[in-house]
Structure 1
Amino acid sequence: MKMSEKMSLDKIIAKINKKFGEGSICRADDFPKISRIRSGSILLDMALGGGVPVGRIGELFGEESAGKTWTALLIAKQFTDAGIKTVFLDAEGGLDISLLNTFNIKKDMFEIVRAESGEDYLEIALQLLESSEPALIIVDSIPAIVPMYEVEEDFSKIKVSGNSGLMSKFMRLLANSLNSQSKNPAEGFVGSTIILINQLRDKIGVMYGDPYGTPGGRAVKHFSTWRASVRRSEWLHENEDKKKNRVGQRITAKVVKNKTFPPYRDATYTIKFPPESSLVDEVDEIVVACTSLGILEMKGSWIWYGEEKIGHGMTNSIEEIRKKPELIEELREKVYLRIY
């Protein structure tokens, strides 16, 4: 091509988009903003930056019984309520269907996958991304993604890197599929969302620093948009004085990575076991959030909202606000306006 025949950059971009698909190159002012769906906990939303980023990969990791799956189901409740189906890859085989009732999740919006091998689970996940409808895909859990050769071979031939190698390839293909899915989104379509549940492993020989690591290799960490360490802060008891009959747990999530919001934000939220409501106490969270953001102000032992005296102490103020649905809605919206 002669110098005089060279095209402008805009024409080249138009040519590229025609060849590779509209949206392959997109101006920054046309690039879609990050869409979020609330997690079910206002405090967790504050830590994440306003809710769970849609069309992105997230990871929840922690020790056993820390609240990872419960947190994932809390998020699933919000997605299904928003009309987005959840597909739960139950590689651990530990999902209790009664939990769907506990979280009041619509069963016709919740699909459960059971497969024979890790390759099957991951292939199913990738095929789901070919849909024209967005979905929430939960993988429970990364260590349970077992390569077929491990299933078929005896213990003497097991390779330590089997799971990591499989996850490394999966994460590359997953990122590619999500990019393709959201390259030129139709109106109202922003792509599927992935939540990976992971466990902790002891680092052998580590004397200093964090003694724990997570399975799946470094690819999981690199490709995840956000990662949250989940731990149980304390048990809740029916009788706190005698510490009898556990009725729930207080969960602390620390967002250790976030490409959409400043990281290292903590959230402590409460989930109660059946027959109690398993969902978080929203009014309690609203008061905590509003106090930390300065929307509600503590003056002495009283809590004020502007010129209005709400109540004496945190507990009384929570109960007073609970009686006022319009105030609850007003405070909720003010919280999200601050954190978006």
Structure 2
Amino acid sequence: MATSRRRHLSTQILKELGMSKKMSATEAEREVIKFFGEDTIFFDGNISTRYDAISTGSPKLDEAIGIGGIPMGRITQLAGQESSGKTMLALSCIKSYLDQNPENTALFIDAEYTYDPEWAKSQGIDISRVMVIKTNDAKAIFQGLIGITSVNSNTKKVSKKMKGILDHIIEGVDPRFKDLGIIVLDSIAVLNTPLEIAADIGKANMAPIPRFLSTELKKLTPVVAQANVAFVGINQVRVNLGQMFGDPTTSPGGKALKHACSLMINMGTVFGSDSVIKNDSGEKIGHTVRAKIQKNKVGAPFRQAEYKVKYTKGIVNANEEIFDLAVKYGLIHRPTNQSYLVNDEKIRGRDNAIRTFSSDPSIVASYDQKIRSIYLGDEEPVANIEDITEESNPLIDAIE
């Protein structure tokens, strides 16, 4: 009886798709595409395992992610405590994208109403190519991104009543959006859902943001993939009161947001005298940020990276990060514990070696490209960071 029911269901599904068991593979493929749309059926070898990525501005973080930055066509979350550098990292991603694509644009959804164009400009961003939308209305934001759909009562077919920004990116016709490649939402935690808007002042609602996102992210995720844009959601960190064991912190949005994200980065400030950047007057002008990868569907999770930021310039010391990675992958050799071979020149001391290394931008760019080729799998590392050849001591060699 169970076999008969399965046979009936399979026949019913084939009929629904307009297919029959006598169809050839080519005919079946054509019918599946006709029913579900383009880019819905793939065979072995047709799905690329390489991801387009936007650099974060930190070479060490790019390497920790594993693909050279945040992925295109996916949702990325940047979460952390206040002043941990979340917005700064998002702006750094925008800068990298605009630098890589001189004709393209970016979108910044300012739900916190705190976007400062002068601050963005000080980090090297061409603000004339950044579109800014100021609203925290969750419904308006998602309708603006994915549009509004309607269902025909007779045919039961779903159609677009209003096209969203991502629809225009996919079509590539509207000049305002056809070259848009990165969208930043700052931030998820302050989204005002329809449930909260309709509620009386002071009335609490149970998990309004998770309830809203659990339905809307199902619509957003596939459209982001089709448009091949990088969607970056900035989020805050909250504390679970009463939790006694494990990490008590969590981020708003519920499980649906965690499932929808391909990359989740938790950020925090590194404390310590060596982690603080001061000017000549002794004032604090920056600090070290530790970024931990909580979830990664494009690389290995649970890795971390540290980078330095200045409050008025963004991420700094990229050359130092490239130098450390070059040593890690054996591109810069260490004859002794205290010396480095930079351009066939033996230099004593790490600071002196970094200074010499950074003096020629073309060499830095060359090493950066080699490092990316290694962790992307195109080249093999020359040696391990621990492989240090000690110099021979003539006094010891003379002892028999």
CA distance in 2, matches of 1:147, 1:326: 50
Q: Does 1:326 align with 2:362?
A: yes
Q: 2:27 is matched with which residue?
A: 11
Following TM superposition, by how much is the alpha carbon of 1:310 offset from its aligned partner in structure 2, in angstroms?
A: 4.4
- Please, which of 338, 346, 362 is the counterpart of residue 301 of structure 1? 338
Following TM superposition, by how much is the alpha carbon of 1:43 offset from its aligned partner in structure 2, in angstroms?
A: 0.8
TM-score, normalization: structure 2? Answer: 0.76
Q: 2:314 is matched with which residue?
A: 278
1:39-78 equivalences in 2 (<5 Å):
39-49=56-66, 50-78=68-96
CA distance in 2, matches of 1:160, 1:5: 50
Render the CA deviation track for 1:284-336: whole Å, top value 9, x for unaligned. 1111111222222332200125x823421211001111222332122111111
Aligned length: 323
SS state of the match for residue 374, structure 2? helix
Mean CA deviation greater in 24-33 or 285-294: 24-33
Q: Does 1:231 align with 2:268?
A: yes
Greater Rg over alpha carbons, structure? 2
CA distance in 1, matches of 2:315, 2:264: 22
Unaligned 5+ segments in structure 1 are 183-190
1:207-226 equivalences in 2 (<5 Å):
207-226=244-263
Q: 1:176 is matched with which residue?
A: 222
CA distance in 1, matches of 2:358, 2:347: 12
1:105–1:208 Cα change, 3 Å: same
AA aligned to 2:371 is: V
Mean CA deviation greater in 227-236 or 7-16: 7-16
Report the RMSD for the aligned CA atoms in angstroms.
Answer: 2.0
- Please, which of 229, 242, 251 is the counterpart of residue 192 of structure 1? 229
AA aligned to 2:351 is: T
CA distance in 1, matches of 2:56, 2:137: 30
- Please, which of 182, 186, 211 is the counterpart of residue 165 of structure 1? 211
Render the CA deviation track for 1:130-169: whole Å, top value 9, x for unaligned. 1223421111111110113423433443203111111222
CA distance in 1, matches of 2:346, 2:143: 54
Q: 1:24 is matched with which residue?
A: 40
CA distance in 2, matches of 1:222, 1:87: 24
Asked whether the equivalents of residues 121 and 145 of structure 1 are also in contact (C-alpha less than 8 Å), the reply is: no
SS state of the match for residue 283, structure 2? strand
Q: 2:167 is matched with which residue?
A: 130
Unaligned 5+ segments in structure 2 are 1-10, 12-19, 147-163, 173-177, 377-400
CA distance in 2, matches of 1:93, 1:235: 29
Q: Percent identity?
A: 26
CA distance in 2, matches of 1:333, 1:148: 47
Asked whether the equivalents of residues 108 and 131 of structure 2 are also in contact (C-alpha less than 8 Å), the reply is: yes
Q: Does 1:317 align with 2:353?
A: yes
1:60–1:324 Cα change, 3 Å: same
Following TM superposition, by how much is the alpha carbon of 1:205 offset from its aligned partner in structure 2, in angstroms?
A: 0.8
1:304–1:165 Cα change, 3 Å: same
Asked whether the equivalents of residues 140 and 196 of structure 1 are also in contact (C-alpha less than 8 Å), the reply is: yes
AA aligned to 1:258 is: N
Following TM superposition, by how much is the alpha carbon of 1:5 offset from its aligned partner in structure 2, in angstroms?
A: 6.1
SS state of the match for residue 269, structure 1? strand
